[in-house]
Chain A
Amino acid sequence: MNDRLEQAKKSPFFKKGDVIVYIALVALIVATFLATGLSRNKSDLEQIQILRDNQVIFTYDFLHDTVKASEGVTVEQTEEGYLVTITEGDARNVLIVKKEGYVKMLEANCSMHRDCVYMAPITDQGGFIECMPHRLIICAGELNFDPSVG
């Protein structure tokens, strides 16, 4: 028993193989924390589209920071992202698109109630804002046709 104890005391705490395992474990833990921490701060938004009459008139790619806009859509760069103005005759809608992953209708002259301005901002794929009187849909990812009633 004492021999074993003496042997254990003399053997190095970290054998070469153990060192490799420990380093790998620490690296894995650090990587996991970093990945989790980064993903918490990073939005899930990849791309948003604006459709009018079911036709795409604006696209923004969050991953590559690229804008595509059709006629009737003006894009103004801001500190946080872009101010997108959509006009058709007297109809006017203004959206904010933040690079961090946030899209919201700021202004609209669609109706007295301007429901689209009060819709929740888009922060995740699947998010959706609609301006029915101006026949506009703003969506992140493919249009979601899950039915709802009421």
Chain B
Amino acid sequence: MNKKWLTVTLAGVFALAGCSQNGKTEEKIYGQYLYNIFGTEAVVCLGDEATDAGMARAGETINEVASLLKEVEKSLSVEIETSCIARFNSASPGERIVIDQTTYEVLSIAMEMYELTGGAYNPSVGHLVDLWGFSPRFRDVDYQPEKPYDREMADGALALPSEDYIESFSALTNFQDVEFGEEGDSYYMVKPSSEVTIEGITYTMMLDLGGIGKGYVADLGAEYVKGKGYDSGYVSLGSSSISLLKSLKEEDGYCWNLGFTHPRPVIPGMNYIQSPVKDVSVSSSGDYENYYYVDDTRYCHIIDPFTARPIQTGVCTATVIGLPASYADALTTALLVMGTQQAVSFMQTTYPDVQYVIVKEGTALEIHTNLDSYTLLDQAIKVIKYE
């Protein structure tokens, strides 16, 4: 081979080496944490070109998603005084509140899931959530009792509330009494007339759509980035709701290897299974996110609307894959309330094409699932598979 041909060949080899596969520019995942959205952090990840332009574009889109999420939070957050839900909560019995389209849409989803789950999902347990010590104010390091039913916190636990308050607040959980609708170009909701007076203070219904709201914004964020032309990435709200596009890993079929948080981890942060997923929303609820113990009994933030107490059904976590995250959020809460048997039966009859993972606590943990593809990471857990 003479020098000329050698030079051409070498040049060709180097040129080819400089190109990525199929002549496509290499892509990478750009991620960012967004803080204090619905009292938690969001993570937005986008796959874009591994160039300065790609990084700038992804960063700009993530900022736009952040603005979008904050706008929705203004409608739904109970902690923002001017939000539609906060105004409803402080309204008088019978008062009519003007609400926005976002609130109307989320309320519609909430009512649909309330009826479908027979009340197992019930967003009107706000007073009970506060009574049992799971409102945001209890996470404050400077927490001090301020309401007549508050108890002192000792070693991160509260004494149990009085039965009078449990019973009284239970009377304010008739979510079906919330009237809401469209009127011309606007929307409204009406505060139910129910009220209770205890120790001289009158209480009315209190809604909390935070759980369902996280799923709603996860899906909204994912739709937004798809609209901007992205097909890889995800939008996650506090890890309880995640809307996934594709990953960049061709070898994995562009699936994300989604980890499921272990409800009783030996090592903090460990997962109990992982499953390949893409272009799907996933929501999860669990009794390990916020809880305390009194006399060896765990009291968690998921309130059973039927008992007016934190759930004691033995389900420690439920995950649903394949529904819009807002629906799945409500559903996973309901599955924890139902208990394992009823939850599995409900999924089989109501959502036969939707995948679920329910973890039951007994002498050992048990997974009840119809998940097709997964890797069990904790071999101590027994798996009961359903078709």
Contact = CB atoms under 8 A, between A and B. Distances in A.
A149 B268 contact: no
Contact of A148 (B239, B283, B286): B239
B267 A111 contact: no
Interface in A118-150: 118-120, 128, 132-133, 135, 137, 143, 145-150
A113 interface: yes
Given A112-B140, A112-B141, A113-B156, A148 B260 contact: yes
Interface string A52-63: 011000000000
Main secondary structure of the interface of B (DSSP, over half): strand
B267 A120 contact: yes
A147 B271 CA distance: 11
Nearest to A148: B259
**Could you say which of B35, B257, B271 has the most chain A C-beta atoms within 10 Å of its C-beta?**
B35
A23 to B, nearest CB: 40
A132 B41 contact: yes
A149 B357 CA distance: 12
Contacts of A137: 33
Contacts, number: 80
Contact of B141 (A53, A111, A118): A111
A53 B66 CA distance: 13
A109 interface: yes
Q: Please classify how large the interface on chain B is, using the bins under 10, 10 to 19, 20 to 34, 35 or more.
A: 35 or more
Contact of A112 (B153, B283, B286): B153
Contacts of B234: 147
A146 B240 CA distance: 15
A119 B269 contact: yes
A118 B268 CA distance: 8
Nearest to A111: B139
Nearest to B320: A149
A146 B257 contact: yes
B261 A148 contact: yes
A83 interface: no
B187 interface: no
A145 B156 contact: no
B377 to A, nearest CB: 11
B245 to A, nearest CB: 11
Interface string B21-41: 000000001011101100011
A106 interface: no
A150 B260 contact: yes
A110 interface: yes
Given A112-B156, A135-B35, A147 B140 contact: no
A110 B261 CA distance: 22
Contacts of B358: none
B234 to A, nearest CB: 6
B138 interface: yes
A145 B43 contact: yes
B319 A111 contact: no
A148 B268 contact: no
A149 B153 contact: no
A119 B270 CA distance: 11
Contacts of B284: 149-150
Given A54-B33, A113-B156, A132-B35, A149 B283 contact: yes
A150 B242 CA distance: 10
Contacts of B242: 147, 149
B347 interface: no
A148 B271 contact: yes
B236 interface: yes
Given A111-B140, A132-B40, A147 B236 contact: yes
Interface in B210-260: 234, 236, 239-242, 244, 256-260
Interface in A40-66: 53-54
A120 B269 contact: yes
Given A54-B32, A132-B35, A146 B141 contact: no
Given A110-B141, A111-B140, A112-B153, A146 B259 contact: yes
B263 interface: yes
Given A135-B36, A146-B256, A147-B45, 8 more contacts: A53-B35, A132-B40, A145-B31, A149-B261, A149-B283, A149-B284, A150-B260, A150-B286
24 contacts: A53-B35, A110-B141, A112-B139, A112-B140, A112-B143, A112-B153, A113-B139, A114-B141, A118-B268, A120-B268, A133-B139, A135-B36, A137-B33, A143-B31, A145-B29, A145-B43, A145-B45, A146-B256, A147-B236, A147-B256, A148-B260, A149-B261, A149-B283, A150-B286
Interface of A: 53-54, 109-114, 118-120, 128, 132-133, 135, 137, 143, 145-150
